[in-house]
Amino acid sequence: MILFGKSDWKKAKPFSNKEYQYSYEYFYTLCKKNNIQMYRASYEWYDYKKHIFKHAWIYEGEGANWKKVHNIIPDLIYDKTKARLETYLQKELMSKCYSFINDLSFTRIVDDKFITSLIFPQWSKKSWVINSKKELALALPKLHSSKIVIKPINESGGKDVQILKKSDTLKATNINKEYLVQEFIDSSKGVPGVSKKMHDLRLVFVNNKIIYAYIREPKKGSFLANLAQGGSLVIVPENKLPRSLNPIIKQANDLFATFNPRVYSIDFMFDEKKRPWIVELNSMPGLFFTPEEKPYMLKMYQELLEMFKKKLD
């Protein structure tokens, strides 16, 4: 069962985007050829008394369609929900009866930007947690860059991220929930040996293995390289990755060794001195692949498939 966030069960199809639909159909078909039946469900469709999923979607195969099914008891749940407190609480209840990939403790650690800044202090910009403009004003003197970054602790996709001139911050910013504030990383010099443009660099892992890596570059006039924010994507072969990342990758593998299996990504930026910094981690790299990523799609799907089979065994 691939577990998602809120969804309208009355919809005629589970996807509105055909590219997303194609990626999932391909993956589900691959799983079925290996004797694994895949389901798709929202955490809202779980019956906490009967401990079953009241509803789910299945894909019936090429030339067929997506079908609604009922009263599902999966052997394994692959978690693709967004990082929200409400969702964590619901999943904790489900975990009393079901096994999850990723382990829920790993998900909480990796998706919390403040926690990850604490466990990778050497490679993370120091962060302050703020809940108000007053707390922001107290943090500002400790920040030494001309621009500052304000971002939610758990959101992904560049949502609600603000990059502001330090001098304009207090008059321009609306602080209505818990945020992180930290120094801006000037990534305009690019990735050493790979790119000369403003960027962030994402590495996608299954356990200790790098499955693929890519650079995201922001659209003109923006600092946000997320694809959801209009950024572009360029695949980076593993043998082209800067060697300065190796100690960070080793530390991540050592720190997270207790969580097996695990699927996650690390986003990096390189500053004007070519030093790498961790921007954030993500416990749920996407199953949707852009045209540029398609050569790596099967590699990722096969790794997930082998992980499912091993976990089920």
The model's pLDDT over 62-108, given as tens digits with 9 standing for 90+, comes to 767 899 999 999 999 999 998 887 899 999 999 999 999 999 999 99
CB contact at 8 A, 276 and 269: yes
Token pair belonging to 223: 């600092």
Residues composing the chain: 313
- The per-residue pLDDT of the chain, averaged, comes to 90
Selection from 274, 267, 272, 270 nearest residue 113 by Cα: 267
**pLDDT score for 217:** 79
Q: Is the pLDDT of residue 155 over 90?
A: no
CB contact at 8 A, 112 and 129: no
**pLDDT score for 207:** 96
Q: Which helix (H) or strand (E) holds 308?
A: helix 294-312
Token pair belonging to 303: 């790794």
CB contact at 8 A, 201 and 213: yes
**pLDDT score for 226:** 52
Residue 32 and residue 34: Cα distance in Å, rounded? 5
Token pair belonging to 273: 């001195």
Global confidence as pTM: 0.90
Q: Is the pLDDT of residue 231 over 70?
A: no
Lowest mean pLDDT of 61-65, 132-136, 154-158, 307-311, name the range: 154-158
List of long-range contacts for 91-97, beta carbons under 8 Å, 24+ apart: 91/3, 91/43, 93/48, 94/43, 94/46, 97/51
The model's pLDDT over 179-205, given as tens digits with 9 standing for 90+, comes to 999 999 999 899 999 988 878 899 999
281: left (phi over 0), alpha (psi -120 to 50) or beta: beta
Phi, psi of 205 (to 5 degrees): -115, 145
Question: Which whole number is the average pLDDT over 35-48?
Answer: 96
The model's pLDDT over 276-313, given as tens digits with 9 standing for 90+, comes to 999 999 999 988 888 878 888 999 999 999 999 999 98
Token pair belonging to 215: 């650079």
**pLDDT score for 115:** 95
Lowest mean pLDDT of 5-14, 152-161, 292-301, name the range: 152-161
Domains of the chain: 2-101 (no CATH), 108-120+186-295 (3.30.470.20), 126-183 (3.30.1490.20)
Token pair belonging to 135: 């707390």
Kind of pairing between the strands at 200-206 and 263-270 = antiparallel
Q: What residues does 69 pair with on adjacent strands?
A: 56
Question: Which whole number is the average pLDDT over 21-28?
Answer: 93
Q: In angstroms, what CA-CA distances link 46 with 43, 53, 102, 117, 272?
A: 6, 4, 19, 34, 49
The angle at the Cα of 108, spanning 250 to 173, to the nearest 5 degrees, equals: 100
Q: Is the pLDDT of residue 166 over 60?
A: yes
Token pair belonging to 266: 């690390």
